[in-house]
Structures are given as structure tokens and as C-alpha cells.
Amino acid sequence: MSIGSVPLRYKITVDHDQCMLCGRCVESCPYGVFRIDREKIHVNSRVCVACHRCIAMCPRDAIDLTERPVDYRSHPLWTPQVRESIYNQARSGKILLSGMGNAMDYPVIFDRLVLDACQVTNPSIDPLREPMELRTYIGKKPSKLEFQKVNGDMVLKTSLSPNLMLETPIMIGHMSYGAISLNAQQSLARAVKEIGTYMGTGEGGLHESIYPYQDHMIVQVASGRFGVDINYLERGAAIEIKIGQGAKPGLGGHLPGEKICADVSSTRMIPEGSDAISPAPHHDIYSIEDLKQLVLSLKEAIEWKKPVFVKIAAVHNSAAIAAGIARSGADAVVIDGFRGGTGAAPRVFRDHVGIPIEAAIASVDAKLRSQGIRNEVSIIASGGIRESPDVAKIIALGADAVYIGTAALVAMGCRVCGTCYRGLCPWGIATQRPDLVARLDPDIASANVMNLIHAWTLELSELMGAAGINSIESLRGNRDRLRGYLLDEGIMRILDVKMVGA
Amino acid sequence: MVKVSIDARQMHYTPLNQVIRQAVAAGATEIEIDHVMGQRFIADGLRGDVTITIHGVPGGDLGMFMSGPTCIVHGNCEHAPGNTMDAGKIIIHGSAGDAVAHSMRGGKIFVRDDIGYRGGIHMKQYLEKRPILVIGGSARAFLGEYMAGGLILILGRKTGRPAIDRGLGSGIHGGKIVIRGGLDEINLGVGATVSELPDSEMTEIIPLIREFSGYFGLEGEEFLNDRYLRITPASARPFASKYSWEV
């Protein structure tokens, strides 16, 4: 105990004049911040994670939360977080686990890019009156089309690869049942089906209750091969091979045994209570040739009926790797940027490994175009897409579509407290505890997610219309509609955008 | 019994699998394929109650995702036969390459001779599904790495040295590896422990040895009185003590 206790991370105060002792805060908090005793709410701020459930449930706005109420001596280098990590590791000698996405204060490239709009010439388009084409096809496009004349009719000779048809270029990324609750997964699944887009299963198998939405599910094959059998592969609309993840590039995943309840064990097809360990590499992939073999084996298994995606984390060599993936037979490459979320990742990986999605997408798109193989794969961008302008900007940098993750969870109530790994999510999202899961009503949550994607899609149409663009195809890779604002020249060269005023 | 013969000479794997699927759909219970020369993915994702006899050397991922059929190979196999296989059987009259039975979830694989590196890697079991890999000869490094369930039996038939390389059962957190004869402790992987196979567990091994011997026309009885070791996880939670929460 020589180090002593570190200061409170959050401080909860209750306004006892406002409080009517309804006890909702006590019920709401699975971390045990509140208790009611002798007609008064008592608080243990030490266990608070700032999930805001109590604040959202309090009918009298009687609860207040302050972050870091105790100051350390300020120092630009030895921040409170650095000091507390050292205290933690000095005590434990262990790797620090953290949740959600990158928490370092890196500059956000999206926020240094601005979009274009038309003035006078090339007039803008009003999406109210004019049709806006946001439909997106994910998959291989032929480099040329060949036709044959049969009895005076033109018949297509080129055989086309299977594509996914998206009504909007916004999909939901892979969050497994296990990482999130079944209610959360069902809510997302209902939303994507309704919208006409797709979502990923993560490496958690496909629960029976998701079968009605299977035509909108991208089933994942990751290094642990959990939940993977021929039925699973055949049910999905597409298959995604997960090589890496933006939140923890180079690592696999461990779902701890305590999260493997009976239902989770059935979809992952492993015994209840056992650790689900997804190793860092796939044991059958040590080269692009091996990756090709896995891509082809999956296609062969489903008789070439569905597209196969490959997801990698955005790292230094993403562009060259993506060029390899494009030649592996894959139909789409997913690039997951270093701001991508996760249920749990070692903090050093979450915060220090990988590169921003903006730079990765621009360089992947440029590399594929320079090699004349951009049509061989679609590019899906994920990791840190927060709002519709991010979608517009990343498409202008070369992506075909995006995966959102955290944003969809926020639409269901998530407050980005980053404590997913505790399995006690008070919003019923990142938990398997039945009473907490029951808090998430799939009727309401799916409507919320649908509203969000719908709203973004409307905004995207408006942004495109203002720029005089009526088809998403014309926005894709259209860097001329972007300008860099206070970005350095090196970054702008990578992004291939001009600076404002130029 | 409906028997179908296929000549795979100069045939790409996709049309070959199409012919196999069509034959199974038409009710074939025995399929004999001649002149197999490196075609990958034979019986990939195939279901059904059919025995496929392969003459030649199939390419990688024989019986990948396979769920039910039996493949009998008269020849060697390339890498990863039985990759993520679900149910059924693969019997190899020869040797096989790396990652045999990779992530296998059910069914049985019998290899008469040797296998390469990372055999039985990440095999796993669930309820009645318990994959079994029997190797007549020896295996290279990292046999049963990350193993999460199932059984690997290795006999070291010719050399008497079944596991000749390091990393045996490295990261194993479920299932077990049974080895005939001795073991240099230095070859034991991280997280694995070794002990004598108790008689109670020998009863499970005996029928497998008999089944193995039956397939390859061997006198199985010679193995029955030998010493067997079992390699099991030191912990079902190998990574449990590695991490600390941030808060």
C-alpha cells in the first residue's frame, strides 16, 4: 500500500434538495455507486465509470458528475493518466486493458478537411427535387464488359462477380454476440434489414434469433474460427476474413471464460466458461498466397455465390497489403483505422499502434489505381467514423462504403464510458447479464439505429447535392471536392488533396 | 450403393467439386477419383453420407468445412487436410503437410505416416462434437498449439519418437494430446503439462488404435501394451493472469 489510493476518477454528487428518494439511481447502477440509507442517497464515487445511466434515469436531474475532481500537479508530460498507469503496473505487473477506441489526443484529419459546395457555375442540386443515387455495390467490378449478339439481341458475355447492394454507403461493422448482447445485435440487425444495408457478425457465430436477418449479415471468419461451419458460411450475405482490427493491430482476441454463457457458448461452439482465444495470426495464413488460399476455399465452400471480404488494420504498409488482397480473389478490403473501437484491448495497442483511416484509405485507393486493379475490390473504411461528413470525406478519399460501430452503439444509448470489458454495461449493450440486457428494448434501439443511418443518409444527399453531385459514384475518390485546412504538406500529399484557397 | 468414378486428370478444382456435389446430390454413396494431382479444396464444405476415395495427391485444404463425408486418400496430402472440418472422416495412406486438422471441430482424421508443423492447431470441441486426430508416425513442431478441445493421438510408429520438435501443446487450454513412448521435456510447449496416461483413459485410446490399424492393415495389438503419456493444459485460462484493468 505504499502508493496509496489514486484520486477519484469521477465524483458523483447528489442534490438532496432535488432528490425525491425514488431509488432509480440505486437500481440503475450495476457498479454499486449508490445506496439508500436512512432516507438519504449515499454515494461511493470510487466505483463510478461515468456511464451516465443514473443521470439519464434520474427524474429530478439531481445527480451531478465531475471528471477528475482532484488535481495533480499539472505537467504536460507526466499527465494524470501516465502517472496512474504507472501506479497500476507498479502494483500489478500486468498489461493494462482498456476499452473503446484510441484515447490519445492525436489530431483528427477529418476535422482538418473541408468539403466543397457549388456557387453560380455548376449549380447545386436540390435532393428534394432531384433523385440522388446513394445505392452502392460492394464487390468486384469487371474491367470491361463483353457482349454477344444473339438473334438480334445484345447479351452480356462477361460473367459478373456477386456484389452486395447497399441502399446507403453506411454499414455496421463487426461486433460479436459475446462482445455485445443479443438484444444489441438484434437491434442492429433489424435496423440494417429495414434500411437495406448490412452488418457484421464479428467472430461470435450467428445466433438463431438472427437467422431472419441473415441476408443482411456479413459472417466473419477470424483466426479462432469460432462458430464457423458450412451452415454459418451459407447463411451469410457475404463472408469476411478478419486479419486485423484497428483497435489492436497485430493481436488476436480473448473473450474471457466468464463471458461465455450458455447461449454465447452455443453460437461460438465452445464449452461454457472456457476462454475463447483468437490467436494473432490465422494458422493457415503466412503469406498473401496463403490468404488467397483461404479466400478461395471459402468461395469454393459456398460455390462462388457470395462475396468474400478481407479486413485488415490500418498500418504502415496497408497500401501494399491491400494490393495483395486485391489479387487474392477477395471482393472487398476493409481497412480499420487506429480509432476503431473494441470491447477490450491492451491500452498500448489501442493508443499507439496503427495509422489514421483517412491516410490509409487515400493511400490504398491510390495504390490500387496506380496498379490498375481498383475495380478488383471495393474499399470499406472503418474506425472512427462519427458523423455523415466523415462518410462524405472518406468516400471522397477513395472508399466505397463505411462501417460504423461506436456510432451505432451510441445511437442505442452507449455513453462511450469505455468500460465495455467489465461486462456490466448499464445500457444493456456490452454485457451478458440478463437483467442488464433486458434494459435494451430492440423495438426502440433498432428504431434509433435506423433513424441515425437514415439521418446520415439524408445529410449525405444534401452534402452531395450542394457539391453538384447526384451519384455516390461521382463522389468516390473525388479529392477535388476536399481541401486541407491547416494540414501539413506531407499529409496533403498522401491524401492527394489541395490546401484551402488553392 | 451408388458408385461414381471421376477422372480428375487436367481438371481444375472447381469443376471437380461441382462433379462431386452433383454426384452426391444424385445419391452417390461411393465416389472414386483418379489422377488427383494437387487439386485443392476437394470436398470443401461438402455434406452427405458418402465415401470419396482419392488416388493421387490432393492439394491443400482437403475436406475443409466438410460435414459428414469420408475421404480416403491413397497418397500423401498437402497442407491442412481437415481444416475447420465439422464432421466426417479423412484417412490418409501416407503423410500430410502443415496444419493438419487446423481448427477442426468434429470428426476424425487418421494419418498413416508423418505430419508437418502445427498439426491439430486450435482444435476445439463442443457438446457431442469432439475432433480426433490420429498420427501413425511423427509430427513436427507445435503439435496441438492453442488446442482448445478434442484429442490428438500420436504413435511414432517407425521411429518411436512421435514428437521430435519443440512447442508441443504450446498454449493448450482444452483437450489432450496422447503420445506413445517417451518425451523430451524440452519439447513441451508453454502452458502444457505432461503426465502418465491413466488406465481409465487408455480405454478410450484402444479403440482408436484398433481403428487406425484396421484402416492401414497393421497389427495394432503391438501398440496396446506400450507406455502412453498425456499432455494437457496447465490451466484452462492461460491468459487470465496477464492483464489488469485500466481502472
For residue B67, what is the nearest residue in chain A, using CA coordinates?
A230
Buried/exposed code over B69-95 (b: 16+ C-beta within 10 A; e: otherwise): bbbbbeebbbbbbbbbbbbbbbbbbeb
What CATH number does the domain containing A43 carry? 3.30.70.20
Q: Flag if A265 and B60 touch (Cβ within 8 Å).
A: no
Partner residue opposite A277 with nearest CB, options B67, B118, B239: B239
Q: Which of B103, B171, B246 sits opposite A347 (nearest CB)?
A: B246
d(CA A403, CA A319) in angstroms, rounded, equals 19
Q: What percent of chain A shows pLDDT beyond 90?
A: 89
Mean pLDDT of A237-257: 91
Which of B42, B65, B241 should we substitute to test contact with A (largest number of A Cβ atoms within 10 Å)? B65
Q: What long-range pairs does A117-120 form, CB within 8 A, spacing at least 24? A: A117/A466, A117/A467, A118/A466, A118/A467, A118/A468
Q: Is residue A192 part of a domain?
A: yes
Contact status, residue A229 vs residue A203, Cβ threshold 8 Å:
no
Query: Is A228 part of the contact surface with chain B (CB cutoff 8 Å)?
Result: yes
Q: Does residue A104 form part of some domain?
A: no
Per-residue pLDDT for A1 more than 80?
no
Beta carbons within 8 Å of B47's beta carbon, 6+ residues apart: A230, B24, B66, B67, B68, B69
Average pLDDT for consecutive 10-residue bins of chain B (247 residues)? 95 97 97 98 97 98 98 97 98 97 97 96 94 96 94 90 86 94 88 94 95 91 88 81 78
Q: Is A265 on the interface with B (CB under 8 A)?
A: yes
Tell me the residue range of the domain where A15 lies. 10-94
> Domain ends where: A66, A94, A122?
A94
Whether A151 maps to a domain, the answer reads no
> Is position A133 within any domain?
no
ipTM of the complex: 0.95
Does any CB of chain B come closer than 8 Å to the CB of residue A254? yes
Q: Are A284 and A395 within one domain?
A: yes
Three-state DSSP class for A123?
coil
pLDDT of B120: 96
Same domain, A294 and A430: yes
pLDDT of residue B162: 81
* Least confident among A161-170, A256-265, A471-480: A256-265
Residue A255 has pLDDT above 80, yes or no: no
Q: Say if the Cβ atoms of A97 and B245 lie within 8 Å.
A: yes
**Domain count of chain A?**
2
Report pLDDT digits (tens) over B147-201: 999 999 999 988 777 877 899 999 999 999 999 988 888 899 999 999 999 999 9
Query: What residues of chain A lie within 8 A of the CB of B126, using their CB?
Result: 265, 269-271
User: At which of A94, A114, A140 does a domain end?
Assistant: A94
CB-nearest partner of A225 from B84, B240, B245: B84
At A438-471, the pLDDT tens digits run 999 999 999 999 999 999 999 999 999 999 999 9
Same domain assignment for residues A172 and A86: no
Domains and CATH numbers, chain B: 95-233 (2.160.20.60)
pTM of the model: 0.95
Give the number of other CB atoms < 10 A from CB of residue B226: 12
Partners of B242 on chain A (C-beta within 8 Å) are: 94-95
Residues A84 and A232 in one domain: no
Q: Is A362 a domain residue?
A: yes
- CATH number of the domain at A359, please: 3.20.20.70
DSSP assigned state of B162: S
Residues A479 and A361 in one domain: yes
A190 shares a domain with A84: no
Statement to judge: residues A351 and A215 lie in one domain = yes
Walk across the sheet containing B30-37 and list its strands.
B3-7, B30-37, B51-57, B67-74, B87-92, B108-111, B132-135, B148-154, B174-180, B228-233, B192-196
Q: Which of A94, A118, A134 marks a domain boundary? A: A94
The answer, yes or no, to whether residue A387 has pLDDT greater than 70, is: yes
Indicate if A89 and A165 belong to the same structural domain.
no
Nearest to A456 by CA among A213, A134, A125: A134
**Within this chain, do residues A50 and A171 fall inside the same structural domain, yes or no?**
no
- Tell whether A18 is covered by a domain: yes
SS percent in chain B: helix, strand, coil, step 5? 15, 30, 50
pLDDT attached to residue B247: 63
A5 part of a folded domain: no
Q: Are residues A471 and A372 in the same domain?
A: yes
Which pLDDT score is estimated for B147?
94
Question: Does residue A90 sit in the same domain as residue A162?
Answer: no
Are A345 and A429 part of one and the same domain?
yes
Q: What is the pLDDT of residues A404-448, one digit of tens each?
A: 999 999 999 999 999 998 899 999 999 999 999 999 999 999 999
